[in-house]
Chains A and B, each alone.
Chain A
Amino acid sequence: GAVVSQHPSWVICKSGTSVKIECRSLDFQATTMFWYRQFPKQSLMLMATSNEGSKATYEQGVEKDKFLINHASLTLSTLTVTSAHPEDSSFYICSAMDRAAGELFFGEGSRLTVL
């Protein structure tokens, strides 16, 4: 089946730095990708919808200047957590839509820890 790759799987950074997380669709083109945030033992909360070649659509309460999303190609979306703080520590998961298959595929997630 289709594969969605996230990188890095784990990242630890100092407070105030920026961290970029990549989400790639490996064997299909994804015009739309979704970014989720998950706190320990909690559900996935949709942060934003990433659209290739256009601005991302953010969910209510998500700071677009804090969580920068770029979807510059049909196989890559990036989430940049700017000026990260400890409260940004979380598990971030992306999903990519394979329109041809009519399916959503999820990445393995990226664990961010801000010290």
Chain B
Amino acid sequence: AQSVAQPEDQVNVAEGNPLTVKCTYSVSGNPYLFWYVQYPNRGLQFLLKYITGDNLVKGSYGFEAEFNKSQTSFHLKKPSALVSDSALYFCAVRDASDYKLSFGAGTTVTVRA
């Protein structure tokens, strides 16, 4: 079985401040980890993924995430948030052997001007 936990329903930050969205995961095999962003009434946009290699992954729109195997975490970060980053963010995991994704509950990010 695989699962994802996003402990924060909401994250509020001021524009220009660092943004962190937390994610922890559980998977039986090697994890493939993903972050997606969703704007209202839209599908999911891919931000970044970790498959293997460097623990620090850089993705779209200035986002990055760090894979921490010992803490089973994959937190999403952005050094300087923009108002346009306000959206719903999903962390997802799948086992390396299966394409079926499990999603976290989502975290609503609000960046105030």
Contact = CB atoms under 8 A, between A and B. Distances in A.
Given A32-B99, A104-B99, A108-B42, A41 B104 contact: no
A46 interface: yes
Contacts of B56: none
A41 B103 contact: no
A115 B90 CA distance: 30
Interface in B10-51: 36, 41-46
Query: Which label, helix, strand, loop or mixed, suits the secondary structure of the A interface?
Result: strand
Interface string A23-44: 0000000001010000001111
B41 A42 contact: no
A91 B41 contact: yes
B: interface residue count bin:
10 to 19
A6 B41 contact: no
A71 interface: no
A13 B94 CA distance: 35
A109 B99 contact: no
A81 interface: no
8 contacts: A6-B43, A34-B100, A46-B100, A105-B46, A106-B36, A107-B43, A108-B42, A108-B43
Given A49-B100, A93-B43, 15 more contacts: A34-B99, A41-B88, A42-B105, A43-B103, A43-B104, A44-B103, A97-B99, A106-B45, A106-B46, A107-B43, A108-B42, A108-B43, A109-B41, A109-B42, A111-B41
